[in-house]
Amino acid sequence: MKNRSLVSIDDFSTEEILRILDLTEEFEKQPTQKLLEGKVIATLFFEPSTRTRLSFESAISRLGGKIVGFSDALNSSVSKGETLNDTILTVNNYCDLIVMRHPIEGSARYASEIASVPVINAGDGANQHPTQTLLDLYSIRKTQGTLDNLNIFMVGDLKYGRTVHSLMMAMSRWNTTFNFISPEELRMPDEFKLYLDNLGLKYYEHNDFTDIISRADIIYMTRVQKERFSDPIEYEKVKNVYVLRNSMLKNTKPNMKILHPLPRVNEIHQDVDSNPKAYYFEQALNGVYTRQAIVCSLLGIK
């Protein structure tokens, strides 16, 4: 995978994804190593995303790499009107790899075509965020022992949720059964359902999940955002339907884990946090190891 970029999860074959997950396992055992000594990595955040940036910077720092970059376009040459083309052509002289977050869709693919060093997409608008998908896959495999034949519940905003779309596409490689739980207005878009139809994978759509929760291996929660609703009354009607509470977890499978890309607002009640089935903070930690694995693979170090 040396000198390749990671823009979309589809850029990697199933074999390559599994190789990243195996490597992540190695980094989890030994997260502090001198593998990136002498390497400079640029983190270009054209829009703020503290969580993702800190995760990358922690991953790189623990491996002895140095970081240059910015956390907000306001503090960079972009505010002076520089094009992305020029920013990338300049920055790629200063570093061995670029991590980029940008509000415009397709910007990461474009940057990867201009840059002479590998580019990792840390989110391009509503399009892709492949390192999130890989850390989700890692969390699923780690907690379930496999990626095959699982029953995945996706809850909340399935229409605009970038992470659920990418995870759904990725998990469709392993004979997954999907349960989509969302308000009518935020249903999984047809193009993704068509994709599953073509693969012959099973999926079910529900408005509520209290009766079926016992079937889940993974519950992937997302935030239902008020601003997604054209009718505020619709939001008021559904806002409490998609909140997970500890009392709902009584009859769930022993292996079941709850995932969330974070930040959480109120969709997982705090009383769930102490339940051993709550996995979202460990999931965030897995993100550091996953990013170590990705950076080292693309630099050809591992």
Q: Is 148 helix (H, G, I), strand (E, B) or coil?
A: coil
Closer to another protein by CB, 30 or 85: give it.
Answer: 85
Contact flag: residue 292 with another protein (CB under 8 A): no
Q: Which one of the spans 124-132, 150-158, 236-244, 279-287 is the region binding another protein (CB under 8 A)?
A: 124-132
- By the rule CB under 8 A, 110 interacts with another protein: yes
The H or E element containing residue 44 is strand 40-45
Q: Which stretch binds another protein (CB under 8 A): 17-25, 78-86, 93-101, 264-272?
A: 78-86
Q: What is the DSSP letter of 81?
A: T
Q: Work out how close the CB of 168 gets to another protein at its nearest, in angstroms, rounded to a whole number.
A: 14
Q: Which is nearer to another protein, 163 or 292 (CB)?
A: 163
Applying CB under 8 A, the span of 119-127, 221-229, 242-250, 276-284 interacting with another protein comes to 119-127
Nearest to 268 by CA among 236, 230, 220: 220
Answer for which of 68, 74, 126, 199 binds another protein (CB under 8 A) is 126
Q: What angle, 0 to 180 degrees and rounded to 10, lies between the N-to-C axes of helices 14-29 and 280-298? A: 110
> In this chain, which of 30, 79, 85, 149 binds another protein, going by CB under 8 A?
85
DSSP state for residue 128 in the 8-state scheme:
-
Q: Which residues contact 74 (CB under 8 A, 6 or more apart)?
A: none
Kindly state the tokens that stand for 202. 């099973």
Interaction mask 194-233, another protein, x per CB under 8 A: ----------------------------------------
Q: Which residues of 37-74 are buried (b: 16+ CB within 10 A; e: fewer)?
A: eebbbbbbbbeebeebbbbbbbbbbbbebebebbbebe
End-to-end CA distance of the chain: 9
Binding another protein (rule: CB under 8 A), the pick from 83, 214, 240, 270 is 83
Residue with tokens 């002498």: 38
Binding-residue pattern over the window 152 to 191 for another protein, x denoting contact by CB under 8 A: ---------------------------------------x
| Residue 206 DSSP SS3 | strand
Q: Catalog residues that contact another protein under the rule CB under 8 A.
A: 8, 83-85, 103-107, 109-110, 124-128, 191
